[in-house]
Structure 1
């Protein structure tokens, strides 16, 4: 396995006559090149990438709203619906690593086009087959196939990372990630519009809305994206990262943050209907609230990175998990007391803090390897240039692994809700499981990165 890096190509910039030609020269760290040539190209690629990734995230999240249309005529119980929202998260998690590697293998422009067109694989049959009488096994296959949208995030982030100089990567990647995450509330707003206008009898209209957007994303990628020359998969980086204990610590923490965000985003509408059935007798009654949590969680993500820059990633992550445990406890108490206002406030808090944690955990990863590289230089075991190169290599590999494993948290959240409703008819056991997981995460953060002692990594 490998991680994605790029090497500078120093041939002269191509002349543009008539139509845009492929990039032959890319030196974003060169200030003169960046100012005169690089910045406009990078910004164009960023905006197209955000749009394509946003559509991918929306397709990945289709079943978070589709299940609200599946009334008695479909004969599916709540446990079956939670499985339908679990399988897209599972495939999305599995695809993140190969999608990351595909950028160097096929080129960013070509792979973004291909990955956009792959979104037609689930949406076209959903548009045709979604109606009463369709078998549950068919629905499971269709739900699983929407997981292809989950892989788009990884390849999009890997590609955009190549376009920007180090000093601007954080902002660019934050915009790219936030624009993609907004696909979750966006598809739920589309579902709400369909429910409010056409009614619950037409679930096929939701994927149908995305068919022209998918084609537009593919055409935009073909027309306006570039491929960075010299991009390559660095051999052995993922294997080396997999042997590093910090990879598994950070993956565990990312399950708690991004896994919560995507899992709650998929499940929130169902849980509202089940916990407060008297308040939400129809899907449209729940749908108008469903998008709120993912919306605030997406918009708040850059704040986590900003706070981590100012206060330290480990400190922000530690207190963020404490807040998430309190939020889950609030939701549990409100559900038992039948207090809808408190329940909604607690769940929105979970989305907010999962968004903050997404930003702070991502900021921790490069800080860990910068601190270890500095220690190696101080000890004389690596020269500064080799240490910096090793830190970049390991950071890229860990982000790829943690991103894939973190997305599996979406599966765990939906399975927790399913088993809780099967066992007791309510979600109390699931909330207790979430409290326990967040407690484990803040304990691990403290022990590994915050506890005073000789093994603490400074600056993380």
Structure 2
């Protein structure tokens, strides 16, 4: 594909002019450039998720000869989840520092470190401390999500962000299911004594992703060196409200993806092959449905979709509690798979809400046109890094809760009760902050910044479409 002309690609594959909200620019060249970067972003992020969740599969290969009990396995995947979540903060901000394409190349190449390390140590007799150190290394795979989402957010116009971010994240999330499928294939063909075959399969894929990113992706000049956006996003209360909700969606997805096989083995006495034949189903469906959640949010509003999704997650979690208490494997699998699907829908709708919130705040502050759109892209991109990091910590919480529940009672029932309560709280927060309809307040739209207009718009009391005397619109209508 040839380089865009008016986009002004210069040295180091930098695009200095980028205005996706301009429909002529978008149709003429922006769409093609954005799509190419989206496809390659998905490739890199997909492999990153596979590496991040590698221990959830390798745990199925770790029989009694490894000397690691169920609680120890839950802790290994929790450590991988914790490190991957924490690294999302610097990874997300690295896009502004190094460029989206440049950081994708670096972050893809870094996946070689944990994969090679696992290839070396994955055998009986390796100390638990060594496994713990390598679990820390696998965290770099989970961090790829933040930089990838921040980067793609800048390429697409607001009207398509739900779909684009859903495709990008869903294509990455499905790496959890794919690595589990590959693990199933290896266990069924070569047996549970051959974990290195799984690792060897990923080494060439990492190299290919790195080379493709270097050759065909682009950096966006308008986001370069924008450190102020990170500070403003961190100071905005909506960043932390959305992080709370994202713990419920993505935190559940990654936490369940890491823990599903272990629960099947330790509570329902499934063999490694039996567990592996089931674990991929939930992550696969949850990943495939994520773009649908984004598309529904584009059409119906992210907050509405998110509210109904959390209500459904509460019901599904209730069935999981019943299934766990009765040790009914069919009901447990059915309710758990439904939970996976709903986490995927909720992932798409919550991430659609983020740019919508900051766009509404920009309009409420009196900004219009490309000025408002550029302001929203800056802050929503920075906010995604923080939200993705905190959301990923939900995976840590899920695995630690399950670890404690199994240690205390030999079952995951107590942990599932806690998860049910959290989804109920998420539904309440979504309604109260983004869908409640308070009496509109008269707010002057006087300019940018963090003044009264912006604060009022932020909390859904009133928004303006721009200019004095403009029709009042609740911010929730835009989110």
TM over 0.5: yes
Quote the Cα distance in structure 2 between the aligned partners of 1:12 and 1:195: 51
Equivalent residue for 1:27? 18
* Alignment of 1:458 onto 2:458: no
The answer to whether 1:291 aligns with 2:280 is: yes
Q: Secondary structure at the match of 2:226?
A: strand
Gaps of 5+ in 2: 440-458, 461-474
Counterpart among 76, 80, 84 of residue 76 in structure 2: 84
d(CA) in 2 for partners of 1:344, 1:118: 35
2:200 is the alignment partner of 1:208: yes
Aligned length: 441
Say which SS state the counterpart of residue 476 (structure 2) adopts.
Answer: coil
Distance 1:40 1:21, change over 3 A: farther
- Write the mapping of 1:133-144 to structure 2, written as runs, cut at 5 A: 133-144=125-136
Report the Cα offset of residue 155 of structure 1.
1.4
Corresponding position of 2:416: 431
CA distances 1:322-378 after superposition (whole Å, capped 9, x unpaired): 21111111011112222211111110111011111111111222222333334333x
Does the CA-based 8 Å contact 1:50-1:180 persist in structure 2?
A: yes
2:336 corresponds to:
347
Q: Distance in 2 between matches of 1:399 and 1:24?
A: 22
Residues 1:100 and 2:92 are matched in the alignment: yes
Partner of 2:446: none
Task: Say yes or no: does 1:332 pair with 2:321.
Answer: yes
CA distance in 2, matches of 1:118, 1:11: 30
- Does residue 238 (structure 1) correspond to residue 230 (structure 2)? The answer is yes
1:43 aligned to 2:28? no
Say which is worse superposed, 231-240 or 315-324, in terms of deviation: 231-240
Q: 5 Å matches for 1:113-192? A: 113-192=105-184
Alignment check: 8 A CA contact 1:9 1:229 kept: no
Q: Partners of 1:290 and 1:373 in 2: how far apart?
A: 43
Tell me: CA distance 1:307–1:34, structure 2 relative to 1, closer, same or farther (3 Å): closer
Deviation at 1:315, TM superposition (A): 2.1
CA distance in 2, matches of 1:318, 1:165: 24
Which residue does the alignment assign to 1:316?
A: 305
CA distance in structure 2 between the aligned counterparts of 1:309 and 1:361, rounded to whole angstroms: 11
Map Cα deviations across residues 287-310 of structure 1 (whole Å, 9 max, x no partner).
Answer: 010000000100111222222233
Contact 2:96 2:226 in 1 (8 A): no
**Which residues in structure 2 correspond to 1:408-423 (within 5 Å)?**
408-423=393-408
User: Normalising to structure 2: TM-score of the pair?
Assistant: 0.86
User: CA offset at residue 423 of structure 1?
Assistant: 0.7
Q: Is the CA contact 2:154–2:377 (under 8 Å) kept in the aligned structure 1? A: no
Picking from 396, 399, 408, the partner of 2:384 is: 399
Q: CA RMSD in A?
A: 2.3
Indicate conservation of the 8 Å contact 2:158/2:356, yes or no.
Answer: no
